[in-house]
Amino acid sequence: MNLNNTVLSAHDEDKAAYRAAIISTAEAILDSITSDEAFSGINPYELRERIEKLSLLPEHGDGWEVVLQSVKKEILPHMLRTWSPLYMPHLHSPALIEAIAAELIISTFNSSMDSWDQGPAATEIEVKVIKELCSLFGYTENGDGVFTSGGSQSNISALVAERDRFIEKKLGWDVKKKGLPDDFRKLRIYTSEISHFSFDKGSHLMGLGYDAVVKLPVDEYERIDTEKTRKIIKEDYENGLYPFLIVATIGTTDFGSIDDIQSLRTIADEFGMFLHADAAYGSGAILSSYKERIGNLALADSITVDFHKMFLLPISASALLVKDGTILDAFQLHADYLNREEDEEDGYINLVGKSMQTTRRFDALKVYISFRMRGQDGYRKIMDTAIGNADYFYRRINEDENFIAPIKPELSSVVFALKGGDERNKKTRRRLLSEGVVIGQTVFNGQTMLKFTLLNPVLTHKHIDELIERIKA
Ligand SMILES: *Cc1c(COP(=O)(O)O)cnc(C)c1O
């Protein structure tokens, strides 16, 4: 490939350049993988110094070969290798191989999801995938949804759409046109004290501020205490506040704990509220043998599903599903240059009307390809391995007097600690990092804890046994 080739075309020379770029990249990646370690162990100062030395915008371009060799030598060795069985700190998964191939299609065609004429097949596939996802999670024909950049954007989109609909119904006020009503400070969102921070962020972005987010207490299993919740909401309601949304977290980020969606639905109905299920993490369990653990998500008015967590698709891939598709009208606007109403009347679907984004990736293709390739049984095996490994690890450390593990896992995360104090746990994690083993750290009841987030489908009981020994050492 040389500097004269710019974009793909029907000409053999451009096709050859494309092939050469893709194949040489794949070879460089494969050559860089020489061990099972998740990380080279380099310290941040040394890595920064090396990266600072790299040239960025030379007077004359370096050409492909030079750049690829430099990337191979200076960058790839210090990339975090998500597929390593020694990587388990976050809800950050390795990517299924076929979904990496799907990324090649996505970026090669560079479709954009905003209007039909920027992605005809892409639009129709996203519509189909959304429809099937709605049915998988139990929504009927009124259900709809949209792909987003991640759980944060899915959550914030739900907040906006549900706030607008609530205010329209309660006060007959059009937020989209007029902005917030005078008494907007009465609006309240209720979510677990250990829920994801995107609700605080969203509340800020919506002009309601952090103070509008009421943090609900959790029980000994880290699930929302529903009795206390009802009291809190009832009191706020009777004091003239506007409680409009309860969030059920289906898989909290640290513990994977699952709020009781049935009870929260009852409370939401009593006070005329929306119920959102933040299932960014736990949604994957719908394809597992442990499906009943997450409850009936169709009871929620909206569901956040992240495909870049348990479903093992490359970042980014998330969807917001809604029970009543019309609430997504919150994002509908028409522009003469993009999504003309007359075209939509003639059957051209412009998905920009459902999204906060304008230009948007064709992430739905990854879901289409992986779901179809693996089927329900293939995915069940992946989900069952993750959840089963967490059960196994929890049992093993409970039998071992060196450890404590306060909460039995429901999904694939286990929070635990070595006995002997915070420093011992912190040092253990740092030491492992320098050896290429990356595990998580968090705080529980004021105590430093370690965390395994077990998403990797190739992880075995033997790996887990070895890790336990390594941590003890
Ligand atoms: C990961 C996560 C999010 C945020 O999702 P992103 O894809 O990282 O934006 C939100 N809620 C929960 C429960 C999560 O685990």
Q: For a ligand 1 pocket test, name from 213, 218, 304 the mutation site with the most ligand atoms within 8 angstroms of its C-beta.
A: 304
Cα of 398 from ligand 1 centre, angstroms: 29
Give the end-to-end CA distance of the chain in Å, rounded to a whole number.
50
Q: What is the CA radius of gyration of the chain?
A: 24
- For a substitution probing ligand 1, which of 196, 311, 453 has the most ligand atoms within 8 Å of its CB? 196
Position 152 scores a pLDDT of: 98
Q: Which atom of ligand 1 is found nearest the CA of 195?
A: 13
Phi, psi (rounded to 5 degrees) for 311 = -80, -5
Residue 452 has pLDDT above 80, yes or no: yes
pLDDT, average across residues 171-187: 97
> What does the pLDDT average to over 17-30?
97
279 alpha carbon to ligand 1 midpoint, in Å? 8
User: How confident is the prediction for the chain on average, in pLDDT?
Assistant: 96
CA angle 370, 373, 376 (to 5 degrees): 85
Q: Identify the pLDDT of residue 335.
A: 83
C-alpha of residue 389 to centroid of ligand 1, in Å? 22
Q: Which of 90, 37, 86, 98 is nearest to 460 (CA)?
A: 86
Q: Is the C-beta atom of 82 inside 6 A of ligand 1? A: no
Q: Whose CA is nearest to atom 5 of ligand 1?
A: 151
Q: Is 280 touching ligand 1 by the criterion CB < 6 Å? A: yes
Q: Which residue has tokens 């709020």?
A: 259
Nearest atom in ligand 1 to the alpha carbon of residue 251 is 13
pLDDT band at 341, cuts 50/70/90? confident
Q: What does DSSP say about strands 447-453 and 440-444: parallel, antiparallel, or unpaired?
A: antiparallel
Among left, alpha and beta (phi > 0; psi -120 to 50; other), residue 69 is alpha
Phi/psi at 369 (5° precision): -70, -45
CA 385 to CA 388: how far, in whole Å? Answer: 5
Tokens of 406: 């306060």
Measured in angstroms, how far is the CA atom of residue 251 from the centroid of ligand 1? Answer: 10
DSSP string, 137-199: TT--TT-EEEEESSHHHHHHHHHHHHHHHHHHHHH---HHHH-S-TTGGGEEEEEETTS-THH
Length of the chain as a residue count:
473
Burial of 230 (0-12, 13-18, 19+ CB in 10 A): middle
Supply the pLDDT for residue 23: 97
Q: What is the CA(402)–ligand 1 centre distance, in A?
A: 32
Give me the half-sphere count of Cα atoms (radius 13 Å) on the Cβ side of residue 65: 2
Position 438, amino acid = V
pLDDT digits (tens, 9 = 90+) for 50-59: 999 999 999 9
Is there a cis peptide before residue 316, judged by omega within 30 degrees of 0? yes
What average pLDDT does this structure show over 363-382? 98
pLDDT of residue 5: 87
How many Å lie between the centroid of ligand 1 and the Cα of residue 6? 37
Q: Which atom of ligand 1 is nearest to the CA of 250?
A: 13
Q: Average pLDDT for residues 23-31, to the nearest whole number?
A: 98
What tens digit of pLDDT does each residue of 90-109 get? Answer: 999 999 999 999 999 999 99
Residue 119: what are its φ and ψ, rounded to 5°? Answer: -175, 70
277 Cα–ligand 1 center, Å: 12
Q: In what order do the strands lie in the sheet with 440-444?
A: 403-404, 413-418, 447-453, 440-444
pLDDT at 292: 97
Give yes or no for residue 278 CB within 6 A of ligand 1. Answer: yes
Give counts: helices (H), strands (E), the chain. Answer: 14, 11
The predicted model gives 12-30 an average pLDDT of 96
Between β-strands 242-249 and 274-279, what pairing exists: parallel, antiparallel or unpaired? parallel
* pLDDT score recorded for residue 210: 98
Distance 420 CA to ligand 1 centre (A): 32
Does residue 256 have its Cβ closer than 6 Å to ligand 1? no
> How far apart are the C-alpha atoms of 284 and 370, rounded to whole Å?
13
d(CA 133, CA 143): 10
Q: Ligand 1 within 6 A of 290 CB? A: no
Helix axes 226-238, 261-270, angle to 10 degrees: 10
How remote is the CA of residue 321 from the centroid of ligand 1, in Å? Answer: 15
Q: What is the DSSP letter of 57?
A: S
Query: In this structure, how many other beta carbons lie within 10 angstroms of the beta carbon of residue 376?
Result: 10
Q: Which atom of ligand 1 is nearest to the CA of 150?
A: 7
Closest ligand 1 atom to 316 CA: 7
User: In the chain, what percentage of residues exceed pLDDT 90?
Assistant: 95
> Ligand 1 pocket, 152 CB below 6 A?
yes
Taking the centre of ligand 1 as the mean of its atom positions, its distance from the CA of residue 318, in whole angstroms, is 9
Q: Measure the CA–CA gap between 196 and 282, rounded to whole angstroms.
A: 13
Could you report the per-residue pLDDT of 221-280, keeping only the tens digit for each?
999 999 999 999 999 999 999 999 999 999 999 999 999 999 999 999 999 999 999 999
Indicate whether 380 pLDDT > 80: yes
Q: Which two tokens stand for residue 297?
A: 């998500």
Least confidently predicted of 13-22, 242-251, 340-349, 371-380: 340-349
Closest by CA position to 144, among listed 359, 360, 330, 361:
330
Whole-number pLDDT of residue 342: 83
Q: Residue 213, SS3?
A: strand
pTM of the model: 0.97
pLDDT at 345 over 90: no
Q: What is the pLDDT of residue 200?
A: 98
Average pLDDT of span 78-88: 96
Where in 97-241 does DSSP place strands (E)? 144-148, 187-192, 213-216
Give tens-digit pLDDT for 154-167: 999 999 999 999 99
C-alpha distances in Å from residue 109, one per residue of 168, 307, 337, 365: 41, 21, 22, 12
Distance 331 CA to ligand 1 centre (A): 21
Q: For tokens 């994690």, what's the residue?
A: 429
Confidence at residue 242, expressed as pLDDT on a 0 to 100 scale: 98
| Residue 448, beta-bridge partner list | 443
The yes-or-no verdict on residue 3 having pLDDT over 90 is no
Strands ordered across the beta sheet of 274-279: 144-148, 318-322, 302-306, 274-279, 242-249, 187-192, 213-216
What is the pLDDT, as a whole number, of residue 336? 83
Residues contacting 241, CB < 8 A, separation 6+: 186, 187, 188
